[in-house]
Chain A
Amino acid sequence: MAHSATHAQGQQHPIKLYLMVWAWLFILSACSYFVDYFQLQGLLRYSLIILFMLLKAGLIVAVFMHMAWERLSLVYAILVPISAVLVFVAIMVLESDYTLLSRIAFFGPGP
């Protein structure tokens, strides 16, 4: 366990790594801005937004927050509960579809 040995004196990584991640975050942010600037639409727009978002979030959590070098039990204790959010999203997607349908059916313009 080489990383637990370094962990004793705290996280020590070369400055270059942080500068690289910083540069990548800039590039990815610029990319997501250009998605809007060039008015990409439809599935392409949504998939690019999600892709750049996840890449940025992954870089921040893994390198800046040092999650990549943390003990696996901490990583799982923090990341696994977040999957509950995805379940919540799925529930609310179904719920809002239902709400929209009933709004159209009951409050929409008459036949």
Chain B
Amino acid sequence: MAEQVLTELRTTHAEATGLRSIATDFSSDRQAFRNVSWGKAMMWIFLLSDTFVFSCFLISYMTARMSTTVPWPNPSEVFALTIAGRSLPLILIAIMTFVLISSSGTMAMAVNFGYRRDRKKTAALMLVTALLGATFVGMQAFEWTKLIHEGVRPWGNPWGAAQFGSSFFMITGFHGTHVSIGVLFLLVIARKVWRGDYDHERRGFFTSRKGRYESVEIMGLYWHFVDLVWVFIFAFFYLW
């Protein structure tokens, strides 16, 4: 009898849609995010907090740029590269964008193959993702070197408003750090996939929880977030 009541309760929960489903989920007096594992929910909440961190950077950059009386350096010229005698605006940044988007694509495919329990393809695609991520960081290091040689410092630069340098190093530096940590994270998870941890539910060294292919998706969430942040940096810092 009690069981029957429980199943009935469950069906009424499942039937609620739209805003009402949110109300029933949050008032259900138990796990609010039903069907969402704690790992995934925690990654989303971490990403939300990270969104605020990057928002604060971009907002402080906006404030600096809007309130300075000195003209802002033109990013189109600052980040131009001369290739084969032709000056191309923002070309390195465009290539970096394509590299990061490609890495996001391979990561999405890795998550997909993970849920199909295709161990080898998942690991291979994650390694490709890590390689593209490392390429991105490498190009960023090149960009930093070039700008530092041209005299960009956090306290000044040859072209205009002094805040350009501090905003640039702060925002791209933090993003590059995220990419670098993501590459390490990718390599750790790819190794676990390759070893078959998620096929054999081998317990984790740190958490002692059974390995599941969902870890690949959680890793993917972080990686896509890094790409997402770049979309905003590209729009507001490089193109604006």
Contacts and interface: CB of A to CB of B under 8 A. Distances in A.
- Tell me, yes or no, whether A binds B: yes
B240 A73 contact: no
Given A35-B239, A50-B235, A60-B231, A9 B35 contact: no
Contacts of A1: 14
B199 interface: no
B18 A29 contact: no
Contacts of B34: 71, 73
B108 to A, nearest CB: 5
Q: State the majority secondary structure of interface residues on B.
A: helix
B111 interface: yes
Contacts of A82: 48, 51
A26 B95 CA distance: 11
Contacts of B76: 36, 39
Contacts of B68: 100, 103
Interface string B83-122: 0000001100010011001101101110110111000000
Contact of B35 (A8, A46, A56, A99): A8
B170 interface: no
Nearest to B52: A85
B55 A12 contact: no
B110 to A, nearest CB: 10
A56 B22 CA distance: 27
A84 to B, nearest CB: 8
Given A18-B112, A93-B66, A96-B66, A65 B59 contact: no
B217 interface: yes
B108 A18 contact: yes
Contacts of B98: 26, 29
Contacts of B108: 18, 21-22, 63-64
Contacts of B225: 65
A73 B228 contact: no
B234 interface: yes
A26 B103 CA distance: 12
A71 B35 contact: yes
Nearest to B223: A64
Nearest to B238: A36
Interface in A30-76: 32-33, 35-37, 39, 46, 49-50, 52-53, 56-57, 60-61, 63-66, 70-74, 76
B214 A10 contact: yes
A53 to B, nearest CB: 4
A89 B214 CA distance: 36
Contacts of B116: 12
B21 interface: yes
Given A72-B18, A89-B62, A57 B109 contact: no
Given A64-B107, A73-B32, A77-B32, 4 more contacts: A10-B213, A36-B76, A49-B239, A96-B67
Interface of A: 1, 4, 7-13, 15, 18-19, 21-22, 25-26, 29, 32-33, 35-37, 39, 46, 49-50, 52-53, 56-57, 60-61, 63-66, 70-74, 76-78, 81-82, 85, 88-89, 92-93, 95-97, 99-100, 103-104, 107-108
